[in-house]
Amino acid sequence: MTATITRTNSGGSSGTKWTRSLWIKRGALSANQTFCASGSYITFTSTDFIEVLDSAGVGMLVTNRKFRDPSAWYHIVLTYDSTAGSSDRLILYVNGVRETSFSTNSQPALNQVDTATNNGQVQYIGTRTGSNYYFLGEMSHVHFTDGYAYPASTFGETDATDGMWKIKTSPTVTYGTNGFFLKMEDSSNLDLDSSSNGHTFTTSGTLTSTKDNPSNNFCTLNPLFKKVGVTYNFTNGNNVLDTTGGSGWHQAMGTLGASSGKWYYEAYANYSPGANNTQLGFGSADYLAQTKADGVIGGGVSKPSFGLYDVGQLNYSTDSANAQETASWAAAWTSGDYLMFAADLDNGKFYYGKNGTWDTTNSNNPAAGTGGYSFTTGGYTYTPMMSLYYQDIITNFGNGYFTTTSAGATNADDNGHGVFKYDVPAGFYAICTKNIKEFG
């Protein structure tokens, strides 16, 4: 994905102070990816460190720790203040905490004027130069303050209930001449500047709106869960897995799970199914490590899981028994079908449907709690799981898109979370942190 947002700065401030603040959720790992730049930049290196370079080399930071969590949002704040003490002129915060351990820590000189960040430079969001180091992931609430240095606590705060670092959606800051605030909330105008400056930005490429945000983190596929020695290609914010260029079985799992509650997600069959080449369902977190070596959901291990092959065959494993198969359990799906999966972890029920209708072979009716496959939950934590054999799959965990194609509807769950193609069964919910906190 090569989308980028740009604007050319004017003369700007005196150049001794500025601040960058933004929330990001990683997609692809182990690749050079810059999320903002204009002379100075902040980037993930190919080895997953954070690297900061300011003003063509007058200051540089490279962290000692890696940042490889694709399941959560990071809050990144970089403050430049060359009027401060010798060790406080270039400060990096991650999730409200100042980074202090660096392999490289080169601070600017006293009163060093940053001529590269303002003064006619192009502000890039999502790349470094407009032609390389594209950021692959999600982004929200991007701030730049020109002439003002702010700490992370200006843009975020600790939640009094759970102790988590959370976003301040309307921080009190002064933006200066070139400052801006891109909320990225308006799906029709994702590069809208909500600061008092109201600058005009230009977007190149395709930006996709998402319900996933720092205040409510949604499930995606987990690029860290990969079978050893097998090639994976995760795209579109880790909502798409393409295995057609690989070999053998590929397993994938979600980034979020729950041990109770009722959960729903959708998928799109973007291939030619048949001969048990694809399987989707849910699996317990306790089962995941064995799946990497085994092959398919429920395949030969004694941990609870349940999934449906594309030919309509149910494959499951219980806490006390290895893989079981039930032929012709449900109607098969074909290329172009939209799939619906629901798991009731309170009552031990798994449901399947396609194209807006719940399968009638086993009287699948999640809203009524009837039919489906009955399983013993066993107190395990479950997450969406899938196994693919030379195939690819497109998921919608509530972000409202299948790749960049809109779900074409605005169906939310009973809590108002997520956007799905089909009506979410009553009492079932999108797999996101707000719902998990309440039900999971």
DSSP class per residue in 93-149: EETTEE---EEEEEPPPTT---TTTSTTPEEEESSSSSSS----EEEEEEEEEES--
pLDDT score for 3: 87
- Domains observed in the chain: 4-204 (2.60.120.200), 233-439 (2.60.120.920)
pLDDT score for 397: 98
pLDDT band per the 50, 70, 90 thresholds, residue 288: low
281 contacts: CB under 8 Å, gap ≥ 6: 297, 305, 306, 307, 308, 341, 343, 350, 384, 385, 386
Choose among 317, 319, 318: nearest CA to 297.
Answer: 317
Residue with tokens 């079908």: 337
- For the chain, give the mean pLDDT: 89
As beta bridge partners, residue 306 has 282, 316
Task: Give the model confidence (pLDDT) of 157-186 as tens digits.
Answer: 999 888 899 999 999 999 999 999 999 998
The whole-model pTM stands at 0.92
Q: 185 by DSSP, 3-state: which?
A: coil
Task: Give the model confidence (pLDDT) of 109-158 as tens digits.
Answer: 999 988 778 777 899 999 988 778 999 999 999 999 999 999 999 999 99
pLDDT band per the 50, 70, 90 thresholds, residue 297: very low
- The Cα 178–Cα 170 span in angstroms is 19
Lowest mean per-residue pLDDT among 246-255, 357-366, 375-384: 246-255
State phi, psi for 81 to the nearest 5 degrees. Answer: -150, 90
Q: Report residue 322 as tokens.
A: 């290895």
pLDDT score for 294: 47
DSSP strands (E only) in 188-230: 202-204
Choose among 335, 234, 222, 348: nearest CA to 285.
Answer: 222
Q: Which residue has better confidence, 431 or 162? A: 431
Instruction: Read off the pLDDT of each residue in 416-437 and give the average, rounded to a whole number.
Output: 97
Q: Report residue 276 as tokens.
A: 């048990």
Q: Which residue has better confidence, 284 or 209? A: 209
Residue with tokens 């006390």: 320
Burial 393-427 (b: 16+ CB within 10 A, else e): bbbbbbbbbbeeeebeeebbbeeebbbbbbebbeb
Lowest mean per-residue pLDDT among 41-50, 273-282, 315-324: 315-324
301 has pLDDT over 70: no
271 contacts: CB under 8 Å, gap ≥ 6: 244, 277, 278, 335, 391, 392, 393
Q: Report residue 34 as tokens.
A: 């810059």
- The β-bridge relationship of strands 373-374 and 349-354 is antiparallel
- In the chain, the percentage of residues whose pLDDT exceeds 70 is 91
